[in-house]
Structure 1
Amino acid sequence: MHLSSLHKMKAFKEKYLNDLIGKEIKVLDLGSQDVNGSYKPIFDIPGWQYIGVDASPGKNVDVILTSPYHWSQFARSSIDVIISGQAFEHIDFFWLTALEMRRVLKDDGICCIIAPSSGPEHRYPVDCWRFYPDGLKALANFAGLNPLEVYTQWDDVEDYTDGSNAWHDSVLIAKKSQLSFRRELKLHLTSLLFNR
């Protein structure tokens, strides 16, 4: 976990979640395995239940997913906040994962995805993608999420001496909002089609 990613996730929490301090919420961290750091301390707030989720067992993993595209361990509309950093570039079909995020988010639930726009190949176990703001907006639109903020750290930051600048992270912050019955049905059928 590089420093710039930790800073971006902390900024997300402070801007979008501080109003939820004192309330009971569930925060799901997709790709939570602690390889060299974790977001968990950022969300260590009384009343907040942090759930670390990953494809394989390891440190900071509470739930092991059998598939990144169908999270059978989580009910529809059961999670308040989904965070994910440095995971989407490792997911073959990340757009299906975004559909699953929408499924488990509560109405008006919020998500924050941090993914690199550049940087060297780093396979865990694969490294498939890099993301720009337009791509993240397209992902949100595909999954029926309302983008609140989308940006990329294009410039190097002098304070990052840990190699963070190699990644030029892109960030998507989006909210689950109500869709028409027809659109909900289309998203559901799309997910079913690819998960069977």
Structure 2
Amino acid sequence: MHPTAMQNCQQFFDCYAPYVALPDEKVSVIEIGSQNVNGSLRSVCPAAFAYTGLDFVAGCGVDVVLQDPYALPFADESADIVLASSVFEHSEMFWLLFLEVMRILKPAGLFYLNVPSNGDFHRWPVDCWRFYPDSGNALVAWSRRNGMSPLLLESYTSLQHADQWNDFVAVFLKDESHARRYPLRILEHKRDFLNGIVADEPGRFLNYSQLPQDRIRLNTIREAVDQALS
């Protein structure tokens, strides 16, 4: 768990958690890839929520060990929130896993996705993918082809904080008909991001940048060196 990933998930819960809970109902949170490696998202989840950690191997923070990476052992429409942070880059066929997430979410359920947009090659046990600003919309298009009606509430690429990663973050709603239940967006207050998308402004990027994240990082380093030498 790198620092930016923890910060991004904290901002997700701060923004959306107040609108997930219903009176007299326990909110169920499922994390895919929950093994505690330098920190766990469980630590930023509201204490009142029922949290279940899934992973492919046993370990600290793992409640259920998956037998099939593309089959989640939960009933249809049984989860309020599903989290996947630094997982989809290691999933050889992440599009299949995305459909499974949509299957187990309740109609008003949320999927929080955090995936590197750049960064070092890191096998766990494989490292296959990086996500870019259009990735969230592509996943929505894929699930619609499979008979679902999700909505990308928002997405963005976070800037680095004490690590080498720029994370692509996306928040999906299982069924777009429940959009009014979630009136706020992380990007209403967040400033340290690039290429943000919000559902209320389709087709428009906030803080648009066409440069790849690694190039932005290199340019920033060069500028800092030039300033130091001047």
Contact 2:151-2:176 within 8 A present in 1 as well: no
Counterparts of 2:58 and 2:46 in 1: how far apart (Å)?
A: 21
- Partners of 1:37 and 1:136 lie apart in 2 by 26
Tell me the CA shift for residue 20 of structure 1: 3.9
How far is the alpha carbon of 1:109 from its aligned partner?
A: 0.5
User: How far, CA to CA, are the matches of 1:44 and 1:18 in structure 2?
Assistant: 10
Which one has more relative contact order, counting CA pairs under 8 Å at least 6 apart? Answer: 1
Q: Which amino acid aligns with 2:174?
A: K
Counterpart pick for 1:152 among 149, 157, 180:
157
SS in 1 for 2:118: coil
Give the number of the structure whose alpha-carbon radius of gyration is greater: 2
Gaps of 5+ in 1: 180-196
Question: Is the counterpart of residue 45 in structure 1 residue 47 in structure 2?
Answer: yes
Counterparts of 1:2 and 1:137, CA distance in 2: 25
3-state SS in 1 of match to 2:8: helix
Alpha-carbon deviation of 1:141? 2.6
Identity across the alignment (%): 37
Q: What amino acid does structure 1 have at the position aligned with 2:59?
A: G
Q: Give the letter aligned to residue 88 of structure 1.
A: F
Match of 1:27 among 13, 26, 29: 29
TM-score normalised by the chain length of structure 1:
0.82
Query: Partner of 1:171 in structure 2?
Result: 169
1:135 aligns with 2:135: yes
Cα separation, 1, equivalents of 2:46 and 2:61? 13
Provide the residue aligned with 1:69 in structure 2: 70
Equivalent residues, number: 170
Output the amino acid matched with 1:6.
M
Q: Is the 8 A contact 1:133 1:171 kept in 2?
A: no
TM-score (norm 2): 0.70
**What stretches of structure 2 of length at least 5 have no aligned partner?**
178-230
Q: Which amino acid aligns with 2:97?
A: T
The SS at the match of 1:4 is: helix
- How far, CA to CA, are the matches of 1:171 and 1:20 in structure 2? 19
- The corresponding residue for 1:183 is none
- Give deviations 1:76-96, integer Å, cap 9, x for gaps: 111110011000000000000
Q: Distance in 2 between matches of 1:146 and 1:19?
A: 16
Query: How far apart are residue 44 of structure 1 and its match?
Result: 4.0
Provide the alpha-carbon RMSD of the alignment. Answer: 1.6
